[in-house]
Amino acid sequence: MKIDFAQFVDKDSVMTLVGKTKLEVMDQLISRAADLTKLSRDLIFRLVWKREQMMTTGVGGMLALPHIRVNDILHPYVIVGVCENPIEDYQGQDDLPVRVIVFTIAPDENQEAYLQLLSGISRRFRNPALLESLIDAVGNTVQIYDIIKGVLKTWLIPNFKNAGSKLF
């Protein structure tokens, strides 16, 4: 069985980010994550900033991929935010401002599946043409969603199940 990670993206998990700083846009993403997951906003906030202190999730090419794992959810949530303003203080690995942020929250159970999900997201979103299309659609979440679904619906992650354990 293969898993299409697009199943973790829905219209509620696509947003335009209106902040001008890393803190402002991450705050918007964290609030949306709390709404979608029903987890404590404070818990998500602490985990995100703990992860950011280890190493920036700004991977370069105007892309950031923040990610956390938590115990109390059954499946991953992928939130895609397109920034209205370049986020100059995100500290991307190439020092370019961030414009697209893909925030992943996943169950803490299956590390192999989690790494496959992150790897797939990274591979797919490091496409400059995709990022340019998303940035051009800023402010139009329906168009952003359609772009993402169009790109992701045929892309599948192999299911690396351990015998007797669920994927997520």
Q: What is the pLDDT of residues 129-158, one digit of tens each?
A: 999 999 999 999 999 999 998 865 444 333
pTM (2 d.p.): 0.87
* 112 confidence band (pLDDT: 50, 70, 90): confident
Kindly tell me if the per-residue pLDDT of 6 is higher than 80. Answer: no
Given the structure tokens 């402002």, which residue do they identify?
Answer: 24
Instruction: Please state, for a pLDDT cut of 70, what percent of the chain lies above it.
Output: 86
| 126 token code pair | 């490091």
pLDDT value for 5:
66
| 107 token code pair | 């169950």
Mean pLDDT of 115-122: 88
pLDDT value for 165:
37
Kindly tell me if the per-residue pLDDT of 164 is higher than 60. Answer: no
pLDDT value for 151:
65
- Taking the C-alpha atoms of residue 96 and residue 75, their distance in angstroms, rounded to an integer, is 32
pLDDT value for 109:
87
Q: Helix 22-37 and helix 41-54: axis angle, to 10°?
A: 130
Mean pLDDT of 29-39: 97
**Phi, psi dihedral angles at 60 (to 5 degrees):** 105, 170
pLDDT value for 130:
93
Mean pLDDT of 37-49: 96
Measuring CA to CA, how many Å separate 100 from each of 16, 28, 75?
9, 13, 23
On the 0-12 / 13-18 / 19+ scale of CB atoms within 10 A, 74 is exposed
